Each structure stands twice: as structure tokens, then as C-alpha cells.
Amino acid sequence: MKVKNADTIKPVQRLHMMEKRAVAAREMSSRMNDESEHIERARLGDVESFEWLYERHKSFVWNVAFRMTYQRQSAEDLAQEVFLTAWRKLPDFKGTAAFSTWLYRITVNTTLNWRRDSMRWASLREDKSWETGFHSGDNNPERALMALEAERALHKLLGQLEKDRRLAFILRELEGLSYEEIAASTGWAIGTVRSRLARARQELSRLAENMEK
């Protein structure tokens, strides 16, 4: 009897799973349609549609800029520059790639151009001004403190990586981009993405072990 009940339940569970996936697919399709409409309107100069795109993608742009610089004002300046560039270039956006990929590419190029300044690179590791006003988004004081400590450790570790490996790690491990998205955003070959990620992980593992000694 138990087996029969289980066998009866399994098709129902599969049906519920299929329904959930169908709903998720419809929601994703709806969001993509909404974005496509806003992209087209923004291409024609609609400011409100561009603001919608800004709200949708600002977290990614800010996070990459912040963790590549760990300088709050520089990250804000870079994020502003990214979206100003996107606004200027949007009429030329052809849609051959996803809008997010196109925007990621602008973010990567803008950030790497900033990092090419040797003086900025030299001062990055010792700059702790980013800690002022740091907010994890968690209002619980204990968890907020833990988040700050984790960010301090990440800052110390990432600051010792070569910029391309650092960027690869941020895009993959912190922002969750696929290898293909990273390749499209950076212009690197897939093999180069994998290689830089592997080396970044190895270096971070070694550095973390040294920190614990």
C-alpha cells in the first residue's frame, strides 16, 4: 500500500514541478518582453525607460566597480560613467547580444581603463576608506559586523590578484556570470576565462591559508 501511495504521489509531484517551471518560464518571458520594450523606447530617447533599465542593472555595475576598486567614490564615478556611456551608445545597440551582456562589456572596459592608472593600482591595497559607510543591507548588528569582516578579508585577498584574474573571479564567483557571459563581456576566449579563474582560485586559496597562519 505504501508503494502504491508513493507511486501515486510521484506523478502529482512531477505535475506540480512542471507547473512551477511553466510559471517561472512565463514570468521570465514577461520580464524579457518588458526589458525589450524598455530597451526599444530608451533607444529612441525615452528617459523613463532608461531609468527602468538602470534600476534593473545598477547592482551589478556597482558591485563590479566597487570590488575592482574598493574606493566608494571611484565606484560611484565608474557606475555613473558606465550608464552615461550606455545612454550615449544605446541608439547603436543592435540586439545581436543580450542587453545585459552589452552593458557588462561597457562595465568591464570602463573599470579596466580605470585600473590601468598605475597610481590607482598602487594605492588600492592599503585604502580602507571604503569601510566608512559600508552597509551590507542587513539591519542585524551582529550579521552586519560579520559581513564587514568578510568584506575586509575579501578586500585583502582580491587586492593581491592580478587585475584580469580578479575580474574573472568577481564576475564568476561573486556575480554568478556563466563562462560564456564572461567571455562575451571581456572579449576573452572561453579557455582564457577558465584558465584565469583556475589561477585566481589557486592564488586565493594559498593566500587564505597564509592569512590563517
**Tens-digit pLDDT profile for residues 135-164:** 555 566 676 667 768 778 888 888 889 989
53 within 8 A of 42, measured Cβ to Cβ: yes
Alpha helices in the chain (DSSP H): 2-43, 47-69, 72-89, 99-115, 118-124, 141-158, 163-169, 179-186, 190-212
d(CA 149, CA 145): 6
Query: Which 3 state secondary structure label does DSSP give 93?
Result: coil
93 within 8 A of 46, measured Cβ to Cβ: no
CB atoms within 10 A of CB 160: 12
Burial of residue 117 (number of CB atoms within 10 Å: 0-12, 13-18, 19+): exposed
d(CA 25, CA 41): 24
183 within 8 A of 193, measured Cβ to Cβ: yes
**Given this model, what pLDDT does residue 74 score?**
86
Residue 27 or 84, more confident:
84
Segment 64-73, tens digit of pLDDT: 998 888 888 8
CATH number of 1-125: 1.10.1740.10
Spell out the domain ranges in the chain. Answer: 1-125, 160-213
CB within 8 A of 181, min separation 6: which ones?
A: 100, 101, 104, 171
Segment 35-71, tens digit of pLDDT: 999 999 999 999 999 999 999 999 999 999 988 888 8
CATH number of 160-213: 1.10.10.10
At 28, is the pLDDT very low, low, confident or very high (cuts 50, 70, 90)?
very low
d(CA 212, CA 86): 43
64 within 8 A of 107, measured Cβ to Cβ: yes
Query: Which 3 state secondary structure label does DSSP give 175?
Result: coil
- Asked if the model's pLDDT at residue 10 lies above 80, the reply is no
